[in-house]
Amino acid sequence: MEQSTAHRSHEIRGLALAITSVLCFATTSILLSYANTVHGVDSWVASAYRGLVGLIVILTMQGSTGKLQIHHILTNRLLFIRGLLGGATIPAYYICIMELGPGRAGLIGGSYPLFAAIFAMILIKEGLNRSYFVYIGLAMLGLVGIFAEAALDGGKPLFDLLSIGTAAAGGLCVVMIRHLRHSESTTNIFAAQCVFTVIIAVFMAGDRILNLEPLAFGFCVLAAITVVGGQLSITESFRYINVARGSTLQMLTPALTVTLSAALLGEQFALLELVGGVAILYASYRIVVCKI
């Protein structure tokens, strides 16, 4: 009885942490869009603060996530590539949020499990059963629907392509992280991304990072805290619930982002766009479930 109660308590805690991560990620997108629209904060400035806050947090948590060994970024080629790719993807995705709207960017970005499955098949020869190809095809049709709506409505096709590029990069990062977990600590993997994010973003943003008005600075820091909080929450949740449940719950992030963006920012979505988004999220959900 006590064991059953403890199991239920752990499961509730894990679910709460996973849902917290969904809230944090969706909130981050809304904050970034608002900060850009109202205070003129660009993606490079916001990315620099994300990287800096991430480094500060990971440095204070070395005891539980592993000792930071910064030189591994230069000596481990895969860690270097993961850090560089992640560092470039973050500002690119922030650009998509600010140009396309958090909802649309989130719907396209939700296709990353599709690319993770494809890269796993190509790079590490991971076999895919037939159902994978059905869901991959469904996700592709969803993307076509979203892009077709943009073409009909005079959207921003270049930023749509950038968004799909960030989703592909995210899928590749997932595959690399799975390999790196065998040789590197969580601290090193997370820090590599933060270090490259800071380097790239500071180079691009220059002194704009230091010339923010107080409210803009506050939004940048708050958005950085929420996204890092989301990453830590989902990581911690896996101590209490299985990876399948935690990963599938992440599919709620784009849906919540769409809802919040429509309600709070007035972002509008056409029917074809929403149908395409639902197809992407459902296919991604099935790919995650089948994978695990």
* Section 217-245 average pLDDT: 82
Which positions ≥6 away from 194 have C-beta within 8 Å? 50, 51, 52, 54, 55, 58, 87
Residue that wins the pLDDT comparison between 289 and 35: 35
| pLDDT for res 162 | 94
* pTM (2 d.p.): 0.88
What's the confidence (pLDDT) of residue 209?
Answer: 92
Can you give the pLDDT at residue 278? 87
Q: Which domain holds residue 152?
A: 2-291
Q: Is residue 80's pLDDT more than 90?
A: yes
Give the number of domains in the chain. 1
Q: Tell me: pLDDT of 20 over 80.
A: yes
Greater confidence (213 vs 244) lies with: 213
Q: Which tens digit of pLDDT belongs to each residue from 108-129?
A: 988 887 788 788 778 877 666 6
- pLDDT given at position 37: 95
pLDDT score recorded for residue 31: 96
- Of residues 126 and 177, which shows the higher confidence score? 177
Distance CA 107, CA 280 (A): 7
Residues of the chain above pLDDT 90, percent: 42
pLDDT in the model for residue 148: 79
Question: Does residue 36 have a pLDDT over 60?
Answer: yes
The predicted structure's pLDDT at residue 272: 84
Helices (H), 101-184: 102-109, 112-123, 130-152, 157-180
Distance CA 195, CA 79 (A): 12
**pLDDT value, residue 187:** 86
Cα 35 from Cα 211, distance rounded (Å)? 15
Q: What is the per-residue pLDDT across 44-76, written as a single tens digit (0 to 9) for each?
A: 999 999 999 999 998 888 877 778 898 999 999
Has residue 152 got a pLDDT over 90?
Answer: no
pLDDT in tens, 86-105: 999 999 999 999 999 999 99
User: What pLDDT was estimated at residue 284?
Assistant: 79
d(CA 243, CA 223): 26
pLDDT, one tens digit per residue, over 236-280 is 776 776 655 666 677 788 889 999 999 999 998 888 888 888 888
Q: Is the pLDDT of residue 1 over 60?
A: no
Structure confidence at residue 4 as a pLDDT band (50, 70, 90):
low
**pLDDT given at position 178:** 76
pLDDT at 124: 72
Alpha-carbon distances of 135 from 1, 122, 290, rounded to whole Å = 41, 17, 10
